[in-house]
Amino acid sequence: MAEAQNSPTLESARAGGPLPVGSTTAGSIAVAAESTVATRMSAPPSFDVTDFPVPHGREEEWRFTPLERLRGLHDGTAVATGEGVKVDVQAPEGVTVETVGRDDARLGKAGTPVDRVAAQAYSAFEKAGVVTVPKETVLTEPIRIAVHGEGGVAFGHQVIELGAFAEAVVVIDHTGDAVLAGNVEYILGDGAKLTVVSVQDWDEKAVHVAQHNALVGRDASFRSVVVTFGGDVVRLHPRVSYAGTGGEAELFGLYFTDAGQHQEHRLLVDHNTPHCKSNVAYKGALQGDDAHAVWIGDVLIEAKAEGTDTYEMNRNLVLTDGARVDSVPNLEIETGEIVGAGHASATGRFDDEQLFYLMARGIPEHEARRLVVRGFFAELVQQIGVADIEERLIAKIEEELEASVA
């Protein structure tokens, strides 16, 4: 695999300032006095859509996104329709499931919209969902949230809050067809453990733009697994910050971008608190004309965040010509007093020579392609560490392979 790799250490970052990164696309490590992640956004975070100008496409945060395919989510022309999406929440006993109004005090605590569509969603939703796992409640069954698109336009808001030392697994499935913009908040109390699996298994015309904000409490651990297969445009923005020391975040992602699809994952881990950890690992496979995957991995280590330990990685496997990947890891370090910081980005091709090699061993072409994709994802799936989620993902990948790698 013609792979470009990079995993600079902190040592090199300290010594050399901004480093050129040998990935297939741009990437950087900056030792910054002031966050460039913040300054390169076109407006400061806000809950109010009118605080953001309508993007024209050249802004840093929009430059990879096909605005014309957002169906008006970015310019105010998308208006909620009655039959937007249906949301069905199934929760085990002990969990509180509520639908609340805009003025509920529990909304907007984990983070603030950072771009126009997230602010649009916040300004436009009518009812929000709030799921609460009381303190010290350890669930043995997952909470399941099924979001099914009914063909309309919808703006959503969902809060999932775990009290201190609560433990839960949440599976959010997105299916059907919709134009959906939303914000999802994860609030973890001290010592809480939350695993969230968000599966974007949309029909092919769906447009889904969402910001996910996780606020990780003291000694809490947050694990996010984002799985994107479907949709015309999916643009997700998982963000993590910490409310106390000792927090841990693991952000895993898997995407399979087919012909014509735009799948964009923009991550930000804000190490705003000392002695926290983060680990980001996203992997994507692409095939077909105009398959476009974008991965932005911003990790910010603020001056006060001593003892931070972070690593981020993105790998892409391009199966055919005509697909495009933009992978931009970006690590900003404002303090040298940390345990570790690194990033890696690599994009490799599955090429005709590899195909020939496998076929020369008797393996039929479609099987050869599947073998490669399955193996590529398996490495990541094994890291998730929740057996039934791993199994489900493997099954999902098989299904996707069955459908698309012919």
Kindly identify the residues of this chain, within the stretch 342-361, that bind another protein according to CB under 8 A: 348, 350, 352-354, 356-361
Question: What are the helix (H) ranges across 30-128?
Answer: 36-39, 116-124
379 binding another protein? (CB under 8 A): yes
48 binding another protein? (CB under 8 A): no
Give the contacts of 92 (CB within 8 A, at least 6 positions apart). Answer: 139, 140, 141, 143
Binding residues for another protein, total number by CB under 8 A: 28
- Of 41 and 363, the one with the shorter C-beta distance to another protein is 363
Question: Smallest distance, Å, CB 372 to another protein?
Answer: 5
How far apart (Å, rounded) are the C-alpha atoms in residues 60 and 329?
14
How far apart (Å, rounded) are the C-alpha atoms in residues 341 and 31?
12
298 CB burial (10 A radius; 0-12, 13-18, 19+)? buried
- Of 218 and 370, the one with the shorter C-beta distance to another protein is 370
Pairing of strands 248-257, 167-188: unpaired
- Of 60 and 367, the one with the shorter C-beta distance to another protein is 367
Specify whether the CB–CB gap between 338 and 300 falls below 8 A.
no
Q: Is 384 helix (H, G, I), strand (E, B) or coil?
A: helix
Among 48, 141, 321, 365, binds another protein (CB under 8 A): 365
367 binding another protein? (CB under 8 A): yes
Of residues 127, 144, 115, the one with CA closest to residue 49: 115
Stretch that binds another protein, among 105-113, 145-153, 159-167, 372-380 (CB under 8 A): 372-380
Vertex 112, ends 108 and 118: CA angle to 5°? 100
363 binding another protein? (CB under 8 A): yes
Question: Smallest distance, Å, CB 330 to another protein?
Answer: 24
373 binding another protein? (CB under 8 A): yes
Question: Smallest distance, Å, CB 208 to another protein?
Answer: 27
First to last CA, the chain: 22
How is residue 255 written in tokens?
A: 């995407």
- Of 116 and 369, the one with the shorter C-beta distance to another protein is 369
- Of 3 and 337, the one with the shorter C-beta distance to another protein is 3
Q: Spell out, one character per residue from 279 to 318, where the chain touches another protein: x when CB under 8 A holds, - when not.
A: --------------------------------------x-
321 binding another protein? (CB under 8 A): no
Question: Smallest distance, Å, CB 2 to another protein?
Answer: 10
375 binding another protein? (CB under 8 A): yes
How far apart (Å, rounded) are the C-alpha atoms in residues 34 and 115?
20
Specify whether the CB–CB gap between 374 and 401 falls below 8 A.
yes
How far apart (Å, rounded) are the C-alpha atoms in residues 305 and 198?
29
Binding site for another protein (CB under 8 A): 1, 3, 317, 348, 350, 352-354, 356-365, 367, 371-379
